[in-house]
């Protein structure tokens, strides 16, 4: 799916708070709804790559396992547009930092409102599970602000519901 997404000079920079916690270009990913049709393991590997790329942009040297993962993925998809953007402008880095900061703020607000929170991490990708008591109105608001891929079960009849919202994202 990703290897057919080739570099376009005219690609537009996008911001994605969750699951990417940062910026990407519209030639690097399919529509996010399409992205969430692939397996969870594959998605988490993609999220990991985006996180690693931020480290590369900041001039950080990738450690052994991360470096190996990066090189393996690049050899599997050498024409993917993602691997064409090794360096970015100061404006791009600022947009990345702003998105990361906004993601942290959103997560802190969600965690503060949640009745239960669990966070697990695997290879730099965090999974958040939030248990929230939602009114129908609050549920509608959450569905407007939440990212594609978060699972919000259907509402039963009645005004008060309990939902478990699960989100996978790269976030440090």
Q: What is the pLDDT of residues 109-123, one digit of tens each?
A: 888 878 788 888 887
Q: Say which range, 57-71, 81-95, 140-154, has the weakest mean pLDDT.
A: 140-154
In which band, very low, low, confident or very high, does the pLDDT at 125 lie, cut at 50, 70 and 90? confident
Beta-bridge partners for 15: 23
| Segment 83-95 mean pLDDT | 94
DSSP string, 66-80: HHHHHHHHHHH-TT-
Question: What is the model's pLDDT at position 142?
Answer: 56
Q: What is the pLDDT of residues 4-29, one digit of tens each?
A: 999 999 999 999 988 888 999 999 99
| Segment 29-38 mean pLDDT | 86
Distance, in Å, from the CA atom of 90 to the CA atom of 148, rounded to the nearest integer, reads 29
Residues in the chain: 172
| Segment 34-50 mean pLDDT | 89
In which band, very low, low, confident or very high, does the pLDDT at 58 lie, cut at 50, 70 and 90? very high
| Segment 148-160 mean pLDDT | 48
In order of 80, 138, 147, the CA distances from 36 in angstroms are: 18, 24, 11
More confident residue, 101 or 159: 101
Indicate if the pLDDT at residue 170 is higher than 70: no
DSSP string, 112-148: HH-SEEEEEEETTEEEEEEEEEEEHHHHHHHHHHSPT
Domain spans, the chain: 13-101, 106-170
Contacts 24+ apart (CB under 8 A), 55-64: 56/86, 57/87, 57/88, 57/92, 57/93, 57/96, 58/93
Mean pLDDT of the chain: 81
Q: What is the pLDDT of residues 129-146, one digit of tens each?
A: 777 765 555 555 555 444
Distance, in Å, from the CA atom of 25 to the CA atom of 126, rounded to the nearest integer, reads 22
Phi, psi for residue 128 in degrees, rounded to 5: -110, 135
Indicate if the pLDDT at residue 69 is higher than 80: yes
Quick one: DSSP state of residue 167?
A: E
């Amino acid at each position: 799916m990703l290897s057919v997404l080739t570099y376009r000079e005219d690609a537009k920079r996008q911001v994605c708070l969750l699951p990417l916690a940062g910026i990407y270009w519209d030639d690097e990913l399919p529509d996010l709804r399409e992205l969430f049709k692939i397996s969870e393991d594959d998605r988490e590997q993609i999220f990991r790559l985006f996180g690693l790329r931020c480290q590369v942009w900041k001039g950080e040297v990738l450690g052994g396992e991360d470096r190996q993962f990066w090189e393996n993925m690049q050899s599997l998809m050498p024409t993917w547009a993602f691997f064409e953007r090794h360096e970015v402008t100061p404006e791009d880095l600022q947009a990345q930092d702003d998105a990361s900061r906004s993601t942290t703020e959103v997560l802190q607000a969600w965690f503060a409102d949640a009745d239960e929170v669990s966070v697990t991490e695997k290879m730099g990708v965090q999974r958040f599970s939030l248990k929230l008591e939602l009114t129908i109105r609050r549920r509608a608001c959450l569905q407007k602000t939440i990212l594609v891929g978060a699972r919000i079960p259907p509402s039963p009849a009645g005004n008060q519901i309990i939902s478990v919202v699960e989100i996978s994202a790269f976030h440090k």
